[in-house]
Structure formats: C-alpha cells, structure tokens
C-alpha cells in the first residue's frame, strides 16, 4: 500500500479527488475507479478545458461492459465552425 493524493486532470488547484488515500501500488496504465465525484460523474460532466468525457462501464456480478463510449477529441470539435 502507498499513500497518494488523487487529483483530477483539469489543471486546477482545487481539482483534488482524495488526499492521503491508501491504495495498492499503481503503475502507468492502471485504471482507478472513482464513484460519485460531482463533475467527474457523467450526469454533471462538462467539456471544460476541452477534456473528452470518459467511457461508462457497467459492472455487475463479476462482469463488466462499456455502456457509453469514450468521447474523442474529434467528437468535441465536430460541431465547431
């Protein structure tokens, strides 16, 4: 276990999800699931700083499936003129 600060990706000083969290040792490419996190929750998400929305994965009874695809940068700019 290691003590870490989990921060968001919005380049804001207050974009902290959890300070001093104890987690299993993580490596680049690992996935961290965070539940019910306000603006990081799909229903309250935005494209602030032109950050694409993540996918939504449903997990039930030991299995998982993507129910909303990851948004791409091309998705963000497709309506720009």
Q: DSSP for 3-43?
A: EEEEE-SS--TT-EEEEEEEE----TT------S-GGGSGG
42 pLDDT exceeds 80? no
CATH of domain 2-77: 2.40.37.10
pLDDT band per the 50, 70, 90 thresholds, residue 46: confident
Give CA–CA dist 57/1, Å, rounded. Answer: 26
Q: What is the pLDDT of residue 71?
A: 93
Active site positions, annotated: 11
Whether 52 contacts 46, CB under 8 Å: no
| Predicted TM-score (pTM) of this structure | 0.63
Mean pLDDT of 11-26: 89
């Amino acid at each position: 276990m290691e003590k870490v600060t989990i921060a968001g990706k919005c380049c804001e000083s207050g974009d902290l999800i959890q300070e001093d969290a104890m987690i299993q040792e993580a490596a680049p490419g690992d996935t961290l699931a965070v539940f019910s996190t306000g603006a990081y929750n799909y229903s309250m998400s935005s494209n602030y700083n032109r950050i694409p929305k993540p996918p939504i994965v449903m997990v039930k009874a030991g299995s998982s499936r993507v129910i909303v695809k990851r948004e791409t940068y091309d998705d963000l700019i497709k309506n720009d003129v």
